[in-house]
Structure 1
Amino acid sequence: MTASQRRFLLRERTSERHSIVDAAVGSLATLDQYRLYLQGVHDFRLPIEQALSNLVLPSCFQSWRPQVIGKEILMDMHDLAITPNRQHSNFSLGEDLETVLGALYVIEGSSLGARVLFSRAVALGLGESFGARHLARQSTSKGWKTFLEVLDAAPVVDMEKVIQASQAVFILAEKAFKEV
C-alpha cells in the first residue's frame, strides 16, 4: 500500500462510525441544539486533548502539532451560560505511532466538518468572537492538510491498528454526543 492510500482506506473503513457521529451531532438548527452540541464537543474533545498533551509525539511529526481548541470550547460555553454538566472522562491514548495517527485522523479531520458547523452557528447569531470561537478556529486551520502529509510520510504502519484507533475515537465522540 502506498502512503497516499492510507487516507482513503481510513475514510472507507471508518465511514460508518463517522456517519453515526454526524447524526449524533445533528443539524444545529436551533440555539438549543447548538448548546447540546457544545456540551458534547466539550465532553469529547477535552479528554482527547488532555491525552495528547501527555504524549511525546513520534519524531516523524517533526514540528507539527495537532490543533488544540479546548480553551475556545470553554469560552464558547461561558458565552452561552453553559456549565459543563459533568467532568469529562479520562481517555487513555497509546503512545505507538498507529494509535496516535488513528486518533489524529479523527481530531484533525473534524476541521472539515467545522466549516459546515460554523456556517450553521453564524446563522444562529454566533461567530468567531462569541459562542463559536472553536469552530471559527477549526474552520480556518491548515491542520488537516498538514496531518495528511504526516500520515503519508509516516514509516510503514499497521493500518489495521490505525483504523482501530480511529474507530475508538469515533466511538468516544458518539458516546459524548449521545449522552448530552
Structure 2
Amino acid sequence: MNAIVQNLPELPLSKRLKAGTTRDHDSVDNLVMGSRPFESNERYAYFLRLQHRFHGVINWLYQDAELNQLLPGLQELPRFEAVCADLVDLGLPVPTEPQPVRPSSPCAALGWLYCAEGSNLGAAFLFKQTQKIGLDGEKGARHLAAHPDGRALHWRQFVTLLDGLDLTDTQRDEAIQGALDAFDFYRATLREIFPA
C-alpha cells in the first residue's frame, strides 16, 4: 500500500483514494492521450470500445442494493447506456455487454466507482476534444457530457457520500486496492483495443 496513505490515516476516504492512486491515474491519463483518441473518428471508435468495456463491466455496481445504501442515488449515475448510444450514433456495432467485474468486497467496489465517477469530472477536457471531430452531447459524445447538476457539484456530492462512510482502515485499504484494480483494468483494456 502506498506509504503516503499509510502515514496519513486521518485523511478522509476521497483524499486517501487520491493519494493512493495518483501515479496510476496519471499513467492512465498519459496513455489515453498518447493513443490520440480524438485525432479522427476511426481513433475515437477505439476509444468508445474501450469505454464500452470499462463501463460495461461495472454497470451492475450502479444497481447493487448494498452499494446504493452506502451511496444513495448511485443508480442514477451509470453511463454505460450513453456509451452504447454513442456507438450507435457513429454507426458502429454495439458489442454485447462484457462479463461484469467482481470486486473482492463492497469497499473494493467503492474504489472502482471512485475511478468511474472521477473520470466524469476529468471528462470536460475530453468532451471539448470530441467537438473537433464534430461530436457533442447529442451525438457521439453523450457519455462525456456533464452531469445535469454540473461536473463539479456532482463530484462534490459523490465525494461527500464517500467521506461520510464509517469504514475501518482495512476497508479503506480495500477501496484503494479496488481503485488500483480499476486503473489496471483500464490500462490493459486500452492496450488490447487500440492498435499498437
Q: TM-score, structure 1 length as denominator?
A: 0.85
Deviates more, 1:79-88 or 1:111-120: 79-88
SS of aligned partner of 1:57:
helix
Alpha-carbon offset, residue 81 of structure 1? 1.8
The answer as to 2:161 corresponding to 1:150 is yes
2:189 to 157, 176, 179: 176
* Gap regions ≥5 residues in structure 2: 1-8
Q: CA RMSD in A?
A: 2.3
The number of equivalent residue pairs is 177
After superposition, give the CA deviation of every residue in 1:122-166 in whole Å (9 maximum; x if it has no partner).
122100111101111459444321111011111033322111011
Give the structure 2 partner of residue 57 of structure 1.
67
Match of 1:15 in 2: 22
Q: Which residue pairs with 1:164 in the alignment? A: 177
For 1:25 and 1:71, the matched residues in 2 are separated by: 22
Distance 1:50 1:162, change over 3 A: same
Amino acid across the alignment from 1:69: R
> CA shift at 1:23, angstroms?
2.6
Larger relative contact order (CA 8 Å, sep ≥ 6): 1
Paired amino acid for 1:170: F
**1:102 equivalenced with 2:111 (yes/no):** yes
Secondary structure of the residue aligned to 2:20 is helix
Letter of the 1:150 counterpart:
L
* Kept in 2: contact 1:28–1:34 (CA 8 A): yes
8 Å contact from structure 2 (residues 87, 140) kept in 1: yes
- Sequence identity of aligned pairs in percent? 25
Q: 1:135 to 1:144 in 2, by over 3 A?
A: same
Corresponding position of 1:41? 51
5+ residue gaps, structure 1, are none
Shift of 1:78: 0.9
What SS class does the counterpart of residue 154 from structure 1 fall into?
coil
Distance in 1 of aligned mates of 2:97 and 2:113: 23
